[in-house]
Amino acid sequence: MADIAIIGGGAAGAALFGALLNQDSNATVHWITGASTQGRGVAYATPEDHHLLNVRAAGMGLYVDQDEDFVQHATRQRAGVRTTDFLPRRLFGDFIEAQVRARIATAEARGRAFALHAAEALRVDPQIDGYDVLLADKRILHVDAVILAVGALSPRPLRTVSNDALASGAYELNPWNLPHRNRAPRRMIVIGTGLTAVDTLISASTQWPDAELVAVSRHGLLPFVHPTLPAQPYPQQNQLNAQLLACHDPVGMVRAIRQAMRESPQLDWRSVIDGMRPINATLWQRLTLAQRRQFLRHARWIWEASRHRIAPPSAEIIQQLRDEGRLQVHAARVLGVDGQGPLDVTVRARANQVMSTLQADLVVQATGLDTAVAFTEHALLSQLIEDGLAVADPLQLGVAAHPDGRLINARGDSQPGLYAIGSLLRGNLWECTAMPEIRAAAHALAANLAALHPAGAVPISAATA
Ligand SMILES: Cc1cc2nc3c(=O)[nH]c(=O)nc-3n(C[C@H](O)[C@H](O)[C@H](O)COP(=O)(O)OP(=O)(O)OC[C@H]3O[C@@H](n4cnc5c(N)ncnc54)[C@H](O)[C@@H]3O)c2cc1C
């Protein structure tokens, strides 16, 4: 296999790095991790024990062919771990680091070549026989293939937020910055009600026990909760999945799912949603662009809440906050955020369309993954787009790519030797950001790279934009 650069130090980068190290080759694997701790990325860097995984311990892992599973590892850290538990994300971060260390030790023992670079990658420039990757410390790595594992982009402020509000210091774009804020707000408003909003509300409730908490989103729907123990699988899931695959429009799909649920009243609806997981990417790929747009506009909110559920302990904390009157959840559209602190948040209620203004000392934006590469300030992605090596997915769900991660360039051709893994592929795969999907993708991509880029030069200059 040829020299490869993985750009991105999160879990996706770690999964791919470990998978590549396991292969027999005399080529070098470069892992460019930026400043973050190797493998933890955004999700698993949290030190807070109440930030829980939303997948049961048995479902979490880093490699398809792992040396030790997560439950075994967690059992050594704390007593009484069960496979069905939703453990702290911090523990999974420890597990990733341990797994990476183990693969590195084996690679060293076998003489497998690799290099770790704790620097940001700023540019990727095509050369006659591969790519030059420019790092922030001015070094240039010459490789045959590059894999973008950069995760989601830094959030951009909502268009409705004024410059004054942004400059006030009372508008927080990065929910994970909360622990660095010293002053307790009297009222904090979170824009968004998804998984990140839940973590933010739980953190704020312990950090500032007297703060009044408000969460606002268009539908005011928090994620549904997982059952305490795994629900029984739906016995007719295979037939249902075959029916869904045969049906080419989203309305028909929803009808089939509803019918399955009506015909089996004992069934836990969550089993049906979970049972669709193996076919979600294929279903998405079969939709036309117009149908995908329709799904995003009308069904995304309910899909996200049903598919990406929270752990029961998190749901209990949220319920308690609501029961105690410390947390209010509004279904309303945010029309504007203005002021110099405190901030005025103007909303229009979904139920009666009445406008009102709420005041808050702190407003936190927690509106989900940003993968709109056409508008990003991410240096590397902007350069790739500008140079035509990558193009945005038409729905701004990442980059245009093939299902196996090969990027499509501005000419509409495959860009040889340039790949992505994880959130940047949502346009093609839709569900590709959770660990079960990431580790399968890393395994498949490592095998593809070995087959497509055997050691030696790969002439790519003719096909670059
Ligand atoms: C809060 C949260 C909780 C989650 N919980 C779960 C869960 O419980 N179970 C589950 O299965 N999934 C979960 N996920 C989804 C998924 O597992 C994670 O998102 C996963 O960690 C994604 O990893 P990643 O490497 O793609 O991205 P990231 O974690 O975002 O890592 C990308 C890294 O690349 C770095 N980077 C970016 N650009 C460059 C550059 N130019 N040069 C060098 N480095 C760069 C970034 O700084 C970052 O460290 C969660 C996600 C989030 C955000």
Please state the rounded mean pLDDT for residues 188-212.
96
Please state the rounded mean pLDDT for residues 148-173.
95
Predicted confidence (pLDDT) per residue in 299-343, tens digit: 899 999 999 999 999 999 999 999 999 999 999 999 999 999 899
Per-residue pLDDT at 458 exceeds 60 = no
Predicted confidence (pLDDT) per residue in 76-131, tens digit: 988 899 999 999 999 999 999 999 999 999 999 999 999 999 999 999 999 998 99
Q: Are residues 441 and 385 in the same domain?
A: yes
Domain assignment present for residue 173? The answer is yes
Nearest protein Cα to ligand 1, atom 13: 434
Bridge-based pairing of strands 130-135 and 140-143 is antiparallel
CA 41 to ligand 1: nearest atom: 29
Q: Which of 274, 435, 437, 439 to mutate to test the pocket of ligand 1 (most atoms within 8 A of CB)?
A: 435
Predicted confidence (pLDDT) per residue in 34-90, tens digit: 987 789 998 999 999 999 999 999 999 999 988 789 999 999 988 899 999 999 999
**pLDDT attached to residue 459:** 37
Query: With bands split at pLDDT 50, 70 and 90, how would you rate the model's confidence at 453?
Result: low
**pLDDT attached to residue 456:** 45
Query: With bands split at pLDDT 50, 70 and 90, how would you rate the model's confidence at 454?
Result: low
Domain assignment present for residue 230? The answer is no
Nearest protein Cα to ligand 1, atom 4: 43
How many whole angstroms separate alpha carbon 442 and alpha carbon 422? 9
Q: Are residues 26 and 114 in the same domain?
A: yes
**Ligand 1: distance of its center to the CA of 435 in Å?**
10
**Ligand 1: distance of its center to the CA of 450 in Å?**
25
Query: With bands split at pLDDT 50, 70 and 90, how would you rate the model's confidence at 441?
Result: very high
Q: Are residues 318 and 189 in the same domain?
A: yes
Q: Are residues 195 and 268 in the same domain?
A: no
Give DSSP secondary structure letters for 393-447.
Answer: -TTSSSB-B-TTSEEE-TTSSEEEEEEE-SGGGHHHHSS--SHHHHHHHHHHHHH
> Based on the structure, what is the number of domains in the chain?
3
Predicted confidence (pLDDT) per residue in 428-440, tens digit: 999 999 999 999 9
Among 273, 305, 337, residue at a domain's last position: 305
Q: Is the CB of 43 under 6 A from ligand 1?
A: yes
Q: Which of 433, 439, 445 to mutate to test the pocket of ligand 1 (most atoms within 8 A of CB)?
A: 433
Residue where the block lists tokens 């203005």? 338
Q: Are residues 137 and 76 in the same domain?
A: yes
Domain that holds residue 274: 237-305
Per-residue pLDDT at 199 exceeds 70 = yes
Q: Which of 16, 62, 90, 150 to mutate to test the pocket of ligand 1 (most atoms within 8 A of CB)?
A: 150
Query: Cβ of 385: how many Cβ atoms within 10 Å?
Result: 19
CATH code for position 174: 3.50.50.60
Please state the rounded mean pLDDT for residues 442-465.
64
Q: Are residues 195 and 321 in the same domain?
A: yes
Q: Quick one: which H or E segment has residue 161?
A: none
Among 305, 321, 348, residue at a domain's last position: 305
Nearest protein Cα to ligand 1, atom 10: 434
CA 369 to ligand 1: nearest atom: 53
Among 365, 386, 408, residue at a domain's last position: 365
**pLDDT attached to residue 353:** 96
Residue where the block lists tokens 């493998």? 39
Q: Are residues 440 and 386 in the same domain?
A: yes
3-state secondary structure of 106: helix
Nearest protein Cα to ligand 1, atom 14: 434
Q: Are residues 12 and 133 in the same domain?
A: yes
**pLDDT attached to residue 18:** 96
Burial 250-275 (b: 16+ CB within 10 A, else e): beebbebbeebbeeeeebbbbbbbbb
Domain assignment present for residue 62? The answer is yes
Per-residue pLDDT at 464 exceeds 50 = no
